[in-house]
Amino acid sequence: MSTALFEPITLRGLTVRNRLWVPPMCQYSVDARDGVATDWHLVHYGSFARGGAGAIIIEATGVVPEGRISPEDLGLWNDEQERALAHVAEVVHAHGAAVGIQLAHAGRKASVEREWGTTNPGRSVALTAGGWATVGPSALAYPGLAEPVALDGPGLDGVVAAFADAASRAFAAGLDFVEVHAAHGYLLHEFLSPLSNLRDDEYGGSPQNRARLLLRVVDAVRAVIPQTAPLVVRLSATDWIDGGITVAESSQLVTWLGEHGVDLINVSSGGNAPARIPVGPGYQVPLATAIRQATGVPVAAVGMIDDPWQAEQIVATGLADVALAGREFLRDPSFGIHAARRLGADAEPLIPAPYRRGYRQAQGGR
Ligand SMILES: Cc1cc2nc3c(=O)[nH]c(=O)nc-3n(C[C@H](O)[C@H](O)[C@H](O)COP(=O)(O)O)c2cc1C
């Protein structure tokens, strides 16, 4: 049966085999704290490709050391990190999936302890324990975390240059696309949102001013990546708080992003301040659809899309162009194959030859 979910999608020069992708998910697993991908990352990302995902977006990866969420995050500011990611890209490509990477600066939410094996999970790492001073648009802390230093002009230039450098390293490593992380209360979102951006210079105040840093980053990244390569931006379409970012403002921003050469918006929400979020199946899909309808820019929907028919319906009815499944792929790394089979799509090409016997009916195991 033909399905919309398992139709290829083309963004610029990249054709991806289907529209069921894996969103970025931090693994906090670089125990050496040097930002270099490990065997864990090879197995983790390789298994989603082996399991039929269309594209995989590698987790939030710091463009500078102080831009990592935790000391155990990936980084992409040196040659060793680039080489390790090249190996991940090779493994993913060998299994037929496309691979991108989320380039990130965690801003005022950087330098926090990972969820396991730490004394204060989610709290600021002590400077004496390998933590670092954080930066943000303003000297305003995220509740419960250390107060950041407001970035000055040279600091902002450094952030823009670091995103561009990491993006060119991503392509040198053989990745297919990059996603700029401007969601979840990290640095670029902190600039976008009036809840965290109290500046009175050209980076604060009006929506145009708050978007200035993100647009500078997008321009700098676009300038160093191949013309044929898609550029993705992840946004929190709403802060879910009065006085914060709204879907209407995000739609205006997405129009600008489209004009600046962004090809796909990964539509998430929240993360910049504690908020009541109406979580439930597909709860962020309407945000993606609203942005797609207002701007015409392709969107990826995400958030509790756990069921193949739900993902199919989202893509088939034009609510979004791509469906991202995060935790479902953690539970079932072969979710791509399993979704294709449940929908009656042609799953055979997704199943690696040595695994095909695992899917044959009514045959002896020998
Ligand atoms: C373990 C884990 C790590 C995550 N790390 C990131 C990340 O690195 N960058 C990001 O933008 N979102 C991150 N997220 C959010 C996911 O990309 C996704 O938006 C979220 O899990 C909702 O989708 P789901 O319901 O399909 O899991 C993470 C989520 C999980 C569960």
Give the residue numbers marked as catalytic: 186
| 300-329 average pLDDT score | 98
Q: CA end-to-end span of the chain, whole Å?
A: 31
Distance 323 CA to ligand 1 centre (A): 13
Distance 45 CA to ligand 1 centre (A): 14
Residues 235-253: b if buried by 16+ CB within 10 A, e if exposed: bbbbbbbeebbebebbbeb
pLDDT of residue 90: 98
53 lines ligand 1 (CB under 6 A): no
Residues 123-148: b if buried by 16+ CB within 10 A, e if exposed: ebbeeeeebbebbbbbeebbeebbeb
> What torsion, rounded to 10 degrees, do the Cα atoms 249, 313, 17, 24 define?
50
74 lines ligand 1 (CB under 6 A): no
3-state secondary structure (DSSP) of residue 232 = strand
Report residue 360's pLDDT band, with 50, 70 and 90 as the boundaries. Answer: confident
- Two structure tokens written together for 143: 């509740």
Report residue 1's pLDDT band, with 50, 70 and 90 as the boundaries. Answer: confident
Q: What is the pLDDT of residues 265-285, one digit of tens each?
A: 999 999 999 999 999 999 999
pLDDT of residue 366: 63
Q: What is the pLDDT of residues 21-47, one digit of tens each?
A: 999 999 999 999 999 999 999 999 999
Q: Which atom of ligand 1 is nearest the CA belonging to 305?
A: 26
Q: Indicate whether 363 pLDDT > 60.
A: no
Specify the CATH number for 9-351; select among 3.90.1530.10, 3.20.20.70, 3.30.1370.60, 3.60.10.10: 3.20.20.70
Q: Indicate whether 325 pLDDT > 60.
A: yes
Pairing mode, strands 98-104 and 135-136: unpaired
DSSP string, 282-348: TTTHHHHHHHHHHH---EEEESS--SHHHHHHHHHTTS-SEEE-SHHHHH-TTHHHHHHHHHT---G
Task: Assign residue 42 a region (left: φ > 0; alpha: ψ between -120 and 50; beta: otherwise).
Answer: alpha
**Closest listed residue to residue 11, CA positions, set 257, 308, 322:** 322
Q: Which of 20, 25, 102, 109 to mutate to test the pocket of ligand 1 (most atoms within 8 A of CB)?
A: 25
Q: From CA 15, how far away is CA 159, in angstroms rounded?
A: 31
| 211-225 average pLDDT score | 99
Distance 104 CA to ligand 1 centre (A): 14
Query: With pLDDT > 90 as the criterion, what percentage of the chain qualifies?
Result: 98
Query: With pLDDT > 70 as the criterion, what percentage of the chain qualifies?
Result: 99
Domain locations in the chain as residue ranges: 9-351
Query: Are the beta carbons of 198 and 117 closer than 8 angstroms?
Result: no
DSSP state of 148: P
Q: What is the pLDDT of residues 121-164, one digit of tens each?
A: 999 999 999 999 999 999 999 999 999 999 999 999 999 999 99
DSSP state of 181: E
- Two structure tokens written together for 194: 């009036």
236 lines ligand 1 (CB under 6 A): no
